[in-house]
Amino acid sequence: MRKSIFFKLALLIIPIVILLDAAVLFVSYRLTYDNQVEVSTDTIERAAEMAEIYMELNYPDTVEKGQEVSGYFYNLCAAMGISYIYAIAPDAENDSMYYVAIGFGDGASDQAKKDRYPGVTVNQSPTKEMMDACSGDGSGVIEHYQNQFGDMVAYYLPVTEYYDYDRREYVKPEKPVVVAAEENISSIVERIQRRIKTIAVFTILFSMLIVVLIFLLMYFRISKPITRISRRMKNFVSDRDKGVEKLKVKGHDELAEMSQSFNMMTDEIDGYIRNIDALNREKHMQDAELNIARKIQSGLLKPSFYRDGSVELRAFMHEAKNVGGDLYDYQTLDDGRVFICIADVSGKGISAALFMSRAITLLHQYALLGYTPAQMLKEYNHTLAEQNPNGLFITTLAAVYDPKTNELTYSNAGHNHPYLISDTLIELDGAAGIAAGIFDGMDYEQETIALKDGDVVFLYTDGVNEAEDNSGKMYGTEALEAELKKFIGVADGDICDAIMKSVKAFSDGADQSDDITILTLKAERSPVHCEITVKNQVENLTKINEIINAQRLDEETRSQLLLIAEELFVNICFYAYKDKQGEITFAVDRENDRIILTFTDAGEPFDPTADVINIEEYDHENSTGGLGLFMVFEMADDYSYTYEDGKNRIKVIKKI
C-alpha cells in the first residue's frame, strides 16, 4: 500500500509543533517571572526612595503627623501598585518595632491593616537586614522573607536626617528610623499566571494556524506537483533506452515514483545535466566570491554617523552588484584631532576587496601613529606598491582636522577633488598626486585650509559623478556642484541623503556600475560664553542645566558638570541668602580644552571651599553633610573662591 509523503511529513510536524509550544510557554514563564520580579523590585526601591525623601521634608515627630504621612504612603501605594509602605523605629534590644507611619495597597492583608498603624509598638524582632539599613550608608537593603502576612520582598532605606523647619537645617532623628516598601510575592505570581494564560491561548491558536497553513502548503506546493511531474516523466521516457545504471528505488511514496521516472530519463539527458552542472558550479563560485567581497567591504566600515564636541561625520556607501573596492574611514586621535579618508580600488571582486582591507588597515595605523596626511600616503604607497602581484592601484584622499586650530590638512593620491561648503562652494584641487600602489618611492604634497563653524568638507568616489542613466549619459561634476551649492548657508541637512536622491533620480532605474561612497565632515564648536541670572530658588536649577546641556561634551564630562552645578547652586540658595531673596549669576566659558563654571551672588560671605572635608578623617556613621561639596571639588580639576565688591564668586574648572 502506498504511503503518501504528505502523511509522513504531517506525523513529523505535529510533534515538533507541540514541543515548540511547550518550549515557548516555558521560556515565556521564565522571562515573565524574572521580568515581574525585577519590575517589582525596581518599583519598591523607587517607592522607598520617594517615601524617604518625603520623610526628610515632613518628618512625623508626633502620632498626628504620622497619620498625615500615612495618608501620603496610602496614595504612594496606590500609585506604585505595591502592598505596604511604612516607617518604623526598630529596637533590637527590646525585640520590638515602633510604627511611625504606614500605608497599605491592594495586596495588603486585612490582619496587617488591623494590627499596624501609626504609634503602635509591635513585639517583633527586627530583621538583620532592617538593622543593616539603620547602620548603613543610605544605599538601601533588600530582603526576601515570610511572615504571618505572606511571602514578602522588602526594600529598606534609613532616614539619616530630616529638615527641621524651625531651625532651618537638616538634623538627625533622635532614634534610627527606617523607611520600607514591601510587595507580596503572591500578587506577583497572580500577575504572572494571568499573563501566561493569555500567552498560552495565543500560542496554541497561532500554532494551529501555522500547522493548517503548512499542511495546505505541503499539499498544494509539494504533494500534488510531485505527483503531476512524476506522471509526465513516465510518459516522456516510456520508450527510452534503459541501459544506464539506475537509481535505487525505496518505499512507495511520491518521491519513489519520481525516482523511477528519473531512471527512465537518465540516458537521454545525462549529457545535458553534466553541462548544466558545470555552468552552475562556475556561477555559484562567482556568486560566493562576490558575497565574500561584500562582507569584507562592509565589515571594515565605521558607522554612518558620528558626532563629538568638534565635528559631525556622515557617511554613505551603496555597493554595486559587481562589488568594487570603495572604502572610507575616520578616527578621533588621542590628541583630539580627527582623521578621515576615502578611497577607491581599481578592479572588482574579492581581489579588490582584499586590497581595500589592507589599504584601510594601513591608513588607520598611520593615523594613530600621528603621521601627517602626506606622510601617510607616502608610506601607504610604498607598502602597497612593494607587494601588489595583481597590479591593482587605489585612489586615496587622507585628511586630518584639528579642532583646536580649526585647520584641515589633506593630501590626495589621484582621487576626486573634495569640496568645501562654506560661504561659497570651493573645490579643493591642491596637493594632487598619483594613485597609490603603482610606483614605489613617490612623494605626496599636502595643503592646509581653515574651517569656520558650520563648514562642511565633502568627499566622494567616482561612483557619484560617473553614475549613468539608461542612455549612458553621466551624472557629472556640474550636477554634483549644483546640488552641493544648495547647502551653502544651511545649518542642518543630510548632504549624503540629498546627493543620493539626486543621483537616483538621474539614473532612473539604470543598473549601478560602480560603488557610490560619500563622506562629510562638518566643523562644530560649542558657544564660547553663556550666561544667565536667576532668582535663588531651587527650581531655577533647570535653567542652569539647559546651558550645560547645550555644550557639545562627552556624556561623562556632561554628567559631572551637572552634578557640580547642582551642588553649588543649592548651597548658594540655602547658605548665601538664607531667608532673603536674591539673584545668582551663572556663566559657562569654554577655553580650548577647559570648561569654566562661575557662580556669582550678592549674599552673605560664604566660602564653600573652606570647609571641604578630609575623606580619610570623615566619620561616616556619626557625621552629616559635607560629602556633596567633597564630590564637587574631587571631580573638578581646579576651583577658587573670592569675595569682592560685596559679591561671592565661585569658579570651577573642568578639563574636557
Alpha carbons 228 and 569: distance in angstroms, whole number: 85
- Quote the pLDDT of residue 239: 47
pLDDT computed for residue 253 by the predictor: 60
C-alpha 211/C-alpha 203 separation (Å) is 12
pLDDT of residue 399: 95
pLDDT band at 277 (very low <50, low <70, confident <90, very high): low
Which residue's C-alpha cell is 533590637? 92
Same domain, 280 and 318: no
For the ranges 157-171, 276-290, 407-421, 452-466, the lowest mean pLDDT is seen at: 276-290
471: DSSP letter:
T
> How many structural domains are present in the chain?
4
Same domain for 69 and 30: yes
Is the model's pLDDT at 234 over the cut of 60?
A: no
476 domain-assigned: yes
User: Are 353 and 288 part of one and the same domain?
Assistant: no
> Is pLDDT of 447 > 90?
yes
The tens digit of pLDDT for each residue in 553-609 reads 778 888 889 998 898 898 888 888 877 888 999 999 877 678 899 999 998 888 888
Give the rounded percent of residues in the chain with a pLDDT score beyond 90: 21
Q: Residue 308: which CATH number?
A: 3.60.40.10
Question: Does pLDDT of 610 surpass 60?
Answer: yes
> With bands split at pLDDT 50, 70 and 90, how would you rate the model's confidence at 169?
confident
Partners of 613 in the beta sheet?
Answer: none
In a domain? residue 209: no
- In a domain, residue 210? The reply is no
460 or 236, higher pLDDT: 460
Contact 179, 55 (CB under 8 A): yes
Q: What pLDDT does 51 receive?
A: 87
pLDDT tens-digit readout, 97-118: 899 999 998 878 888 888 889 9
Do the domain assignments include residue 176?
Answer: yes
Asked whether residue 535 is domain-assigned, the answer is: yes
Looking at the structure, do residues 34 and 126 belong to the same domain, yes or no? yes
More confident residue, 234 or 429: 429
| Nine-digit cell string for 60 | 512625623
Residues 540 and 635 placed together within one structural domain of the fold: yes
Q: Does a structural domain hold residue 211?
A: no
Strand partners, 147: 150
Does residue 21 sit in the same domain as residue 44?
Answer: yes
Alpha-carbon gap, residue 302 to 327, rounded angstroms: 10
Phi first, then psi, for residue 646 (nearest 5°) are: 75, 20
**Predicted pLDDT of residue 353:** 73
**At a CB cut-off of 8 Å and minimum separation 6, what does 587 contact?**
529, 530, 531, 532, 596, 597, 598, 600
Residues 322 and 450 in one domain: yes
pLDDT score of 342: 94
**140 within 8 A of 157, measured Cβ to Cβ:** yes
Question: 17 lies in which domain range?
Answer: 8-192
Same-domain check for residues 286 and 374: no
Quick check: 146 pLDDT over 90?
no
List, for residues 336-379, the tens digit of each pLDDT value.
889 999 998 887 767 777 788 888 888 888 988 989 999 999 99
Comparing CA positions, the residue from 70, 181, 71, 80 lying closest to residue 118 is: 70
Asked whether residue 264 is assigned to any structural domain, the reply reads: yes
Residue 637 lies in a domain: yes
- State the pLDDT at residue 519: 94
Domain boundary among 508, 523, 538: 523
pLDDT band with cut points at 50, 70 and 90 for residue 8: low
pLDDT of residue 483: 92
Residue 612 reports pLDDT greater than 70:
no
CATH of the domain at 31: 3.30.450.20
> DSSP secondary structure string, 385-414?
HHS-TT---EEEEEEEEETTTTEEEEEEEB
The rounded distance, in Å, linking the Cα atoms of 393 and 375 is 18
The pLDDT of residue 597 is: 92
Both 279 and 365 in one domain: the answer is no
Give residue 622's pLDDT: 45
Do β-strands 432-433 and 638-644 pair in parallel, antiparallel, or remain unpaired? Answer: unpaired
pLDDT 10s digits, 282-335 = 666 656 666 665 666 666 678 888 877 678 899 988 877 655 578 899 988 888
Range with top average pLDDT, 141-155, 317-331, 414-428: 414-428
Q: Are 401 and 516 in a shared domain? A: yes
Question: For the whole prediction, is pTM greater than 0.75?
Answer: no
